[in-house]
Structure 1
Amino acid sequence: MNGVLRGVNRILLALVGLILLVAGGSVLAVGLGASPPSWWVYGSRHDVLLTHAQRTRWRADGWWWPVVVAVLAVLVLLALWWLAAVLRRRHLAEVSVDTGDGEEALLRGGALEEVFAEQTSRLDGVARARVRLRGRRTAPASRLRLLLEPHVDPGTTLQDIATGPLAHARDSAGLTALPTDVRIRAVKHRAERVS
């Protein structure tokens, strides 16, 4: 999904850039005195994009303003979706693993995240663990989100993670270090009436 979004983003950016370049270049060329072809929207340097008659043509029709507002709303929503997709932090797709013979292999980031989270979830008192890899594929970092049972000491759990799942993930990927940001929350149980 990440690769598809990246491809769509590049295509959209290229199209928008090309349209803006052609439109801006044509306005600049005509403004500097170049003579455009007869089918072009600008005929001379004193031309406007839309004439007064074209701008006010459908203003009196009842469908005009709802259509304008709907089109603009869709464009704003698409632009916000696009911005959110671009700004959203993505997880690392691949981790580079040194094979020891001068070559490198690529480990799927999702597989490393899955194993790291699964091993962390097996620790005593960990209700749920989520892992996201970030950074570069040659120097990854991870973000670990833990949901702990109320009876667990967070310090002990962190020590168990550092010597267990984190060390295993680091060693299996052949990394010298795997910086990890850990966020901890406690499970909240409902109070029960005791008879």
Structure 2
Amino acid sequence: MTAMLRTVNRVLLGAVGLVLVVLGGSVLAVGLGAAAPSWWIHDGRHDVLLSDAERTRWRDDGWWWPTVLAVLAVLVLLALWWLTAVLRRHRLAEVLVDTGDGAGALLRGRALEDVLARQAGELDGVAHAHVLLTGRTGAPETRVRLRLQPHVDPGTALHDLATVALAHARDSAGLASLPAEVRLHEVKHRAERVS
């Protein structure tokens, strides 16, 4: 299902991009003085997009402008929905777990993220941990952000994360590997006045 959505998304983005490039390139070329193509809706460089007759043609009909505005509003809402759907898809929704019987099971990605973040947050010197699952259902990857206390050695924190939290998540889910991109940040404490 995810592969099909990814393909549909790429095809739609490619088609919209191609239409915008062709129309935008044509407008730019005609505006710079090139001859208008045969399919172009206007005659030349000084022709306006909407003439006075075209703009005022439907003025007396009360349904025209509300309909135009409603269609434009629906198009904007669809574009915003599409944008949020594309941005949300970077998170892995499910992980395929090998149950040993050949069938397999699906584990919610959020559940694995929460457990991994909780275990990483319990490591010595880690103030906060945030985990995001990416990749494919059968081959997940993780992005981990750790906020470390100032006294913690980053190498030790990274070693503990790999040998404790990531290893436990990998073994529990029956994964062959669980690659991780780890970003380490230091907790910044506000200065306090001492009297």
| TM-score grouping bracket, smaller chain normalisation | 0.5 to 0.7
Residues 149, 89 of structure 1: alpha-carbon distance in 2 compared, 3 angstrom cutoff: farther
Which structure 1 residue ranges, 5 or more long, are not aligned? 14-51
- Structure 2 counterpart of 1:85, one-letter code: A
Describe the superposition over 1:99-149 as per-residue Cα deviations: whole angstroms up to 9, x where unpaired: 222221222211111111101111111111111111111111111111112
Q: Specify the alignment match of 1:164 in structure 2.
A: 164
What is residue 123 of structure 1 aligned with on the other side?
A: 123
Alignment root-mean-square deviation, CA: 3.4
Amino acid paired to 1:152: V
Match of 1:152 in 2: 152
Q: CA 1:67/1:161 → structure 2, altered by over 3 Å: closer, same or farther?
A: same
1:68 Cα shift?
A: 6.0
Match of residue 194 from structure 1: 194
Query: What are the Cα deviations for residues 128-175 of structure 1, in whole angstroms up to 9, with x where unaligned?
Result: 111111111111111111111222111110000111010000000001
Q: Structure 2 counterpart of 1:105, which letter?
A: A
- In structure 2, the partner of 1:101 is 101
3-state DSSP of counterpart to 2:157? helix
What letter matches 1:94 in structure 2?
E
Give the superposition deviation at 1:67: 8.8
Q: Which amino acid aligns with 1:159?
A: H
Q: Distance in 2 between matches of 1:67 and 1:106?
A: 46
Cross-structure match for 2:83: 83
Distance 2:187 2:126 in 1: 9
Q: 2:135 — aligned with what?
A: 135
TM-score by length of 2: 0.63
Structure 2 residue identity aligned to 1:173: A
TM-score norm. by structure 1 comes to: 0.63
User: Match for 2:100: what amino acid?
Assistant: G
Shift of 1:83: 2.4
Structure 2 residue runs without a partner (length 5+): 13-51
Q: State the number of aligned residues.
A: 149
Instruction: Go from structure 1 to structure 2 and tell me whether the alpha carbon gap of 1:86 and 1:192 turns closer, same or farther (over 3 Å shift).
Output: same
Equivalent residue, structure 2, for 1:33:
none
Which string of whole-angstrom CA distances, capped at 9 and with x for unpartnered residues, describes residues 60-101 of structure 1? 89xx88996786467436424422432444311211111222
1:18-57 pair list within 5 angstroms: 56-57=56-57
Counterpart code for 1:190: R
2:171 partner amino acid: D
Partner amino acid, structure 2, of 1:120: A
Distance 1:60 1:189 in 2: 66
State the distance in 1 between where 2:66 and 2:97 align.
56
Identity of aligned residues (%): 69
Relative to 1, partners in 2 of residues 1:92 and 1:187: Cα closer, same or farther, differing over 3 Å?
Answer: same
